[in-house]
Amino acid sequence: MLDIQQLRTDPENIASRLAKRGYTFPVAQFQWLEAQRKSIQTQTQELQARRNATSKQIGIAKQKGEDAAAIMAEIAHLGGELKQAESQLERIQAELQQLLLTIPNLTHSSVPEGKSETDNLEIRRWGTPRSFDFAIKDHVSIGEELGLLDFETAAKLSGTRFNVMKGGIAHLHRALTQFMLDTHTQEHGYTEIYVPYLVNADCLQGTGQLPKFEEDLFAVHAGTSEHMGATTSTGHGLFKLYLIPTAEVPLTNMVRDEIIPLEQLPLKFVAHTPCFRSEAGSYGKDTRGLIRQHQFEKVELVHIVHPQTSYETLEQLVSHAEKILQKLELPYRVMTLCTSDIGFSAAKTYDIEVWLPAQKAYREISSCSNCEAFQARRMQARFRNEKGKPELLHTLNGSGLAIGRTLVAILENYQNRDGSLTIPSVLQSYMSGLDRLTIEDGK
């Protein structure tokens, strides 16, 4: 959420900056709501003052033995007016809040301007794509011919955009998870966290998925609010929770409504979770294979930091995600997203794209973002600064990495002429010493 004081004092400049990312800020609507808020707030304050002054007159009249009926009637009338004004103020403030929740973050000055992903800026490349002396297969063909990827059974169980992994590929998927967690906790200093996979609406509002992107989420109605230990419900005896689209949501919300002592910063969290996305608006895209699934797994990295260090932290975050690909010896490139391609909550984002031989293209495998105070303001997540005063934190997040897409990259980059798959050397200890998957493993 943006600072409302900025919007009040310089709405035209904010609108200009938001236009660069393709968002039209409704200046007139905002200013009308603000004018209504100020007017009704002033009216409410005046009524409260009059009621307080009149209340004192009742006490004085009674002390003098005078009839206070007229004054009490006036108090009752003021009370009715005040109640009506407070109700109007609450409605206007709610409308204003809903508007603020739909406005994206302002981009950092270093973010390149652009109208589409073609305007993203390449920063660097690592590794050289392998040259093959045989016909390359995509990850679906490799996995199915090994007998270890089964999309037909997944469709029977759940529908399209799900998968079933078997044997060696399921083991490889698990090995990747363990390898990533070990690297980030043992080498990069993250604290491993286990989090719920179901969260309430406040969590998703805090990180920016709600209210704007509700259609991208899977909602679950289960139990009563009493059974769930919750304070709100759908109004039909059922409590509404959401399956997490990323571990960023529960990890970042761990500091919601908290004031973190300065000496505890920075906080560095890592979690492995499944992620659930409806992929609304992506129909027809990446329908084959593991690239775009309704259920997939990620190792997520989250930083909670002092505002002065957040851009230095962003560079560290990207390097931590890169290290996984370097250890796996997978070629990749790092891109800075332009103003029109950046995510809703982000002020600046780097995408890491891994090389996929079958597509002859680099594809996103990690997005690392600095959200500055945007999420913290929504969550009221603060720290006590050097002067002892509460101040908004900065939050950052990134994939370290998306496990399914990493598996895709391994299947395609490590494939062999005979249909077998070489296990990257760094993963072999996680695979009980196995260095290759063959067709025999799937029988």
21, 378, 382, 405: the active-site residue? 405
* Torsion sign across C-alpha atoms 404, 406, 412, 416: negative
37, 292, 333, 384: the active-site residue? 292
Confirm whether residue 277 is marked as ligand binding.
yes
Confirm whether residue 248 is marked as ligand binding.
yes
- Residues 6+ away with beta carbon under 8 Å from 183: 323, 324, 327
Confirm whether residue 369 is marked as ligand binding.
no
Q: Is 367 a residue of the active site?
A: yes
Q: Is 436 a residue of the active site?
A: no
- What's the chain look like in SS3? CCCHHHHHHCHHHHHHHHHCCCCCCCHHHHHHHHHHHHHHHHHHHHHHHHHHHHHHHHHHHHHCCCCCHHHHHHHHHHHHHHHHHHHHHHHHHHHHHHHHHCCCCCCCCCCCCCCCHHHCEEEEEECCCCCCCCCCCCHHHHHHHCCCECHHHHHHHCCCCCCCECHHHHHHHHHHHHHHHHHHHHCCCCEECCCCCEECHHHHHHHCCCCCCHHHCEEEEECCCCCCCCCCCCCCCCEEEEECCCCHHHHHHCCCCCEECHHHCCEEEEEEEEEECCCCCCCCCCCCCCCCCCEEEEEEEEEEECHHHHHHHHHHHHHHHHHHHHHHCCCEEEEECCCCCCCCCCCEEEEEEEEECCCCEEEEEEEEEECCCHHHHHHCCEEECCCCCEEECEEEEEEEEEHHHHHHHHHHHCECCCCCEECCHHHHHHHCCCCEECHHHHC
364, 384, 391, 420: the active-site residue? 364
Confirm whether residue 300 is marked as ligand binding.
yes
Confirm whether residue 397 is marked as ligand binding.
yes
Q: Is 192 a residue of the active site?
A: no
Instruction: Order the strands of the 239-243 sheet from edge to edge.
Output: 198-199, 239-243, 218-222
141, 340, 367, 369: the active-site residue? 367
Confirm whether residue 406 is marked as ligand binding.
no
Q: Please state, in angstroms and rounded to a whole number, the distance separating the CA atoms of residues 101 and 137.
A: 45
Strand partners, 336: 121, 350
Confirm whether residue 278 is marked as ligand binding.
yes
Residue with tokens 């993203």: 120
Nearest Cα neighbor of 298 from 379, 377, 184, 384 is 184
277, 377, 378, 382: the active-site residue? 277
Confirm whether residue 365 is marked as ligand binding.
yes
Confirm whether residue 279 is marked as ligand binding.
yes
Confirm whether residue 376 is marked as ligand binding.
no
Annotation: binding site for L-serine: 246-248, 277, 300, 397, 399
Active site (catalytic) residues = 277, 292, 364, 367, 405
Annotation: binding site for ATP: 277-279, 364-367
Annotation: binding site: 246-248, 277-279, 300, 364-367, 397, 399
